[in-house]
Structure 1
Amino acid sequence: MNFFNKKSKADKALKYFRQAPAYHNCAQTIYKIFQDEYGITNDQISELSKHGNGKAPDGLCGAYFAGMELLKNNPELREEFSKRFKERSQYLSCFDIRLNYSMSCKNLVFLAANLLEELTTEQEKKNE
């Protein structure tokens, strides 16, 4: 694949979010597109079915929750992910996001995937 045809994780996320055959929710989608990098099992992705549509712990956005879970062993990236997500979405809870129409769920999935890819790429470059 050449450079110009390479799709970002965020682009790939939109192929999974609420699309056949699996109809992944926001949290599942984030886990699915980072499955290889984080060694995520299909069972773990299935388990996240209960964390979509405002049902993530503390009412968090599912895409945000999944991103934070993936970064749980990296406090520095976790903090930066949280900061950048909130700057762009304005809120972290699904209820507040929906109530204030700050972003669509599709855009939140795109945002979370993009931020995760951006932050991990930045960290890899620092470590070189």
Structure 2
Amino acid sequence: MKDFAKEYHAKHLGNCAMSVAAAWLNAHGGDPAEVEKFKACGAGHAPGGLCGALYAAIQYKPEKEAEIIREFSRVTGGTLCKEIRPNPNMTCNDRVGLAAEILENLP
């Protein structure tokens, strides 16, 4: 899922949230049209200002929200787009890959 999400994002096929959603749906045989529901969740516009990649990951495993947030925040240093986006050591594409990887590796 990580590679799929990162490639989707790198090819500008969708924003960060859409990229994680697309990876999940691809891996689990979901309806690709569902990606569109995340269209407004990029660039800091996910609910609560969350990173869109993180927001999408939570949507697919809401019962694991605390674990997803904990691991994502441990690596990125936060959860809000405006806080973590300026970090020059981790690109948005890196965060997309991280969110997809966390989602994929949770039981």
Instruction: Work out which of the two has the higher radius of gyration on C-alpha atoms and give 1 or 2.
Output: 1
Structure 2 residue runs of 5 or longer lacking an equivalent are none
Structure 1 runs (4+) greater than 6 angstroms displaced? none
CA offsets 1:27-69 (integer angstroms, 9 cap, x no match) = 0011101104556433321121111111101111000000111
- Does the Cα contact within 8 Å between 2:18 and 2:39 map onto a contact in 1? yes
Could you say which structure has the greater relative contact order, defined with CA pairs below 8 angstroms and 6 or more residues apart? Answer: 2
How many residues in Structure 1 have an aligned counterpart in Structure 2?
107
Identity of aligned residues (%): 30
Alignment partner of 1:42 out of 32, 46, 67: 32
Structure 1 residue runs of 5 or longer lacking an equivalent are 1-8, 124-128
1:1-128 aligned within 5 A: 9-19=1-11, 23-36=13-26, 40-72=30-62, 74=63, 77-101=64-88, 103-119=90-106, 123=107
CA distance in 1 between partners of 2:8 and 2:42 (Å): 14
- Does the Cα contact within 8 Å between 2:26 and 2:32 map onto a contact in 1? no
Scaled by the length of structure 1, the TM-score of the pair is 0.74
Scaled by the length of structure 2, the TM-score of the pair is 0.88
SS of equivalent residue, structure 1 residue 53 = coil
- Does the Cα contact within 8 Å between 1:28 and 1:46 map onto a contact in 2? yes
- Does the Cα contact within 8 Å between 1:13 and 1:29 map onto a contact in 2? yes
Q: CA-atom RMSD, angstroms?
A: 1.8
